[in-house]
A and B are shown apart, each in its own frame.
Chain A
Amino acid sequence: MSSESLFLSPVYLPLLSAAGILFIKSFCPTSIKRIAEYLGILIGLVLPLLLVLRLYPIVQNQGYIETTIGGYAQHIGIIYRFDGMSLLLILLAAAITLPAWIFSRNEGPGHSYFTALLLIQNASIAAIGMAADLFNLFVCLELMGVTAYVLIATGKKANAAYASFSYLMLSSSAMVFFLLGTFGLYNLTGSLRYEAIAMGLETLSGRNQYVAHFSLLLIIVPVLLRVAVMPLSLWLVDAHSKAPHAVSALLSGVLLKVPLFALIRIFSLSPFASSLALPISYAGAVTALVGVLLALSQSDAKQLLAYHSISQIGYIVSAWGLALHAGVTTMTGSLLLSASFFHAFSHAQFKALLFLTIGKTTDAAGNRNVYTFRGANQALRNVGERVPLTMLCFLVGALSISALPPFNGFYSKTLVTYTLKGSLHYTFLTLASVGTVASFIKLSRIFLPSKQPMVLPAVKEKNRFPVSSHLAFILLALSCLAVGLFSEQMILFITRLISSEEAQTYGSSFFFTQDNLIKTTLTVLSGIVLFALAVSRPGKYVLHLLEKRRGGFTDLFLGFATALGALALFAW
């Protein structure tokens, strides 16, 4: 097989196995159906990853591989370009989809449609990572969005359909503007290919330049909506907390980040676009802080996690924005981008782990309120867990997100804050990490033993704890630990893929400096203090006020208009 066919395999192999699964589902009996699903995941998810990893040396030497779909002339066909970022995105998607799928086997929604949808989603993510064509990017983003809406709506929670619907309405009306922006750029440059657009934009002058700027704006804001930076993040909380647990893990682990890193190519179209990156990075820093404050005020466990996703995406966006501002090809830019991706990758792992463990625990007890729910371990024992693995895995996740060594969160957060040192972002992010610690102390309290004895259910059938759930937890927890322990190699891997020049190494001597350790200790201590303040009477009052502030349907669109307006003012 040629390398062109090889790098497209993450697009067509998942589609092939999804089609196969659906085919077998409608023609064959149940026993074969299950085998088909396992085979489908193997062929559609694991095999392409292995094939793509074989291209690593080529990407490192040449930078990228390119092909035109169908072998037509370059200026008329759709171009797919496989570079380091595509490889990283495919890796990210597969690393989270696999445990989430394993978890879904027993905890639902574990039917063949779900498996097929996951595979289609992975194909669309790979396509987003590789498309070098504006309209094809639109189609792939729509495909990814549609799978997300459908997956959210499979939730059993009463409001799941409503959450999915409001996300659908918001996101698809935003995508109309994306289409309008594509129209504007095509009108100006006569091409949908990134390179041709970039060349065409250089020659523009006068009024046409304004048209180009606003077209770019109309493309960028809808994509940022999927990323959920602050004024655009109102849809996220309902969608993430009402979805089935496996889907929540995927949504905040993968689907938030893919559009963000795909945007890099659009930002490099014109120098104007990269000047937009700076305000976006400030928005990211504010997002990190506000998100964590809102998270601290939540009483619903999954909503708390959803607000944390907003907060963590703020970290990623602020490093990402500064990277684009400095220029992706420069030394600082590539370092910032690597830090941003590294944190995105770690966040995907620990947030997926947290969503799955908390989901399982709250289901076992039938209670999601962090204020009233105690004795989670007992509840888990009731559903048949012998060893408290769920609690241990949850703790791994909580320690990772609070940035404690030796877990991945410590390394990625330290790298992000290191690269941001000296800017205003740094202050915001440091404050946000204090809030993270405080809110995770709050969440961890559900594992404290309960004061009043647990009311045991009357029917006492001996049910066994599903092995698949444990397997998913352990997979994610171990990968959190492994990425932490092998952070040096991981960072090297990422930076080499992002910029092919000789990358710096960040060994343990970089991370375990006195400054970093003091900072971590201080963060934890102030986190404890903040937690103590939060549970005090005035703190509770303030948090309660914050919790009641929830946006309605119109506010979703208000957020979109605000973001568009703010960036438009900046562009003017």
Chain B
Amino acid sequence: MKRTWFIFKVIFILLVVTLAMLPVILSSHPWPVASRDYLYENALSDTGAVNTVSSIYLGYRAMDTLGETLVLLVSITGTMGILINLGRESEEEEAVSFSLAPEKRATNAQRTHLLEVVASKLGPVVLLFGFYVMLYGHISPGGGFQGGVIVASAIVFLALGTETQSKLTNTTVLGRIETLSFLVLIIVATSGVFFERGFFGNPIKSGSSLSVNFIILLNIIIGLKVGTSIAVMCIAMMGGRHGH
């Protein structure tokens, strides 16, 4: 009885939601072209970015990007809080071993030789690629968010691959880079206010070849911010929070 009631409810929810969505999805209205044409003509001269996507998300709609960065910051803060709380409550966990028997590993049971070799060799290459995506975001596909996530995965590789903790996988150091880049991001965003160009205004004179530097700077800061914060969270999830 309870089960049929549950199924009935689920069917009802799906039905109503689909019916409400249908008119919007099935709409055959032609796509508007005004914005597209405007961007095609003016994006480069307005912001200096060759990559129009960059000109949108760090230029015209930079405010949305700031919002998304903040969403990421807040959700990672929340995740860390929950992880720390869980760490306090849970007792010694039962060790799950992934390693093969000949490896003879007692501690660090989740590592294997294979994993360490591959991850430690892959890490630096991925790190380099991440910085490339971040730095060339204004010219080629990519940008701060994408580059940041790649950097984060590189740091996770390094943390998996090396037994000893280096500066790059130390959560305290990563956390410091994160807060520093967040502060710089907000200061850069606010700087326009003091140059009479308004919030998120490009303080560098637009039209000059230098104005693209604003976007490069934002890409780097956002990349560092995203990369370090995701890396900190992943390292904490692997159970390697520094000093804990």
Contact = CB atoms under 8 A, between A and B. Distances in A.
Q: Do A and B interact with each other, yes or no?
A: yes
A211 B20 contact: no
A5 B34 contact: no
A189 B71 CA distance: 28
B63 A78 contact: yes
Contacts of A139: 63-64, 67-68, 71
A366 interface: no
B29 A188 contact: yes
A475 B19 CA distance: 50
B38 A75 contact: yes
Interface size class of A (residues with CB under 8 A): 35 or more
Interface in B174-207: 175-176, 178-180, 182-183, 185-187, 189-190, 192-193, 196-202
A16 B197 contact: no
Contact of B20 (A69, A142, A554, A568): A568
Given A4-B198, A146-B74, A215-B24, A161 B82 contact: yes
Contact of A70 (B17, B186, B198): B198
Contacts of B71: 139, 142-143, 146
Interface stretch (B54-62, B96-104, B120-128, B141-149): B54-62
Interface stretch (B7-15, B107-115, B153-161): B7-15
Contacts of A19: 179, 182-183, 185-187
A12 B190 contact: yes
B243 interface: no
B162 interface: no
A69 B201 CA distance: 7
A459 interface: no
Contacts of A67: 198
Contacts, number: 201
A208 B29 contact: yes
Contact of A554 (B9, B33, B200): B9
B164 interface: no
A315 interface: no
B27 A69 contact: no
B78 A184 contact: no
Contacts of A77: 60-61
Contact of B60 (A4, A78, A190): A78
Most buried by B among A117, A149, A154, A561: A561
B237 interface: no
A208 to B, nearest CB: 6
Interface in A1-48: 1-2, 4-5, 8, 11-12, 15-16, 19-20, 22-23, 25-27
Contacts of A149: 75, 78
A411 interface: no
Contact of A71 (B75, B78, B82, B197): B197
Given A72-B60, A77-B60, A146 B198 contact: no
Main secondary structure of the interface of A (DSSP, over half): helix
A227 interface: no
A76 B38 contact: yes
A218 B82 contact: no
Given A71-B201, A146-B75, A113 B81 contact: yes
Contact of A117 (B23, B77, B182): B77
Given A8-B199, A568-B19, A76 B39 contact: yes
B16 interface: yes
A36 B71 CA distance: 23
A150 interface: yes
A120 B74 contact: yes
B64 A78 contact: yes
Contacts of B70: 15, 120, 123-124, 143
Contact of A26 (B33, B59, B175): B175
B23 A557 contact: no
B199 A12 contact: yes
A526 interface: no
Contact of A558 (B13, B19, B74, B200): B13
Contacts of A78: 60-61, 63-64
A565 interface: yes
B20 A564 contact: yes
Contacts of A147: 74
25 contacts: A4-B198, A5-B198, A8-B198, A11-B199, A12-B186, A25-B179, A70-B199, A71-B202, A72-B46, A72-B60, A73-B42, A75-B35, A120-B70, A127-B67, A136-B64, A147-B74, A177-B20, A187-B31, A190-B33, A191-B34, A208-B29, A214-B23, A215-B24, A218-B24, A568-B16
Nearest 10 interchain pairs by C-beta: A190-B32, A150-B78, A139-B67, A184-B24, A565-B16, A561-B16, A561-B13, A19-B183, A214-B23, A211-B27
Given A210-B23, A214-B20, 20 more contacts: A16-B186, A19-B179, A19-B183, A23-B183, A68-B198, A69-B200, A75-B38, A76-B35, A77-B60, A124-B70, A136-B61, A136-B64, A180-B21, A188-B29, A190-B34, A191-B34, A218-B21, A561-B13, A561-B16, A562-B16
Interface of A: 1-2, 4-5, 8, 11-12, 15-16, 19-20, 22-23, 25-27, 67-73, 75-78, 113, 116-117, 120, 123-124, 127, 135-136, 139-140, 142-143, 146-147, 149-150, 153-154, 161, 177, 180-181, 183-184, 186-191, 207-208, 210-211, 213-215, 217-218, 554-555, 557-558, 560-562, 564-565, 568
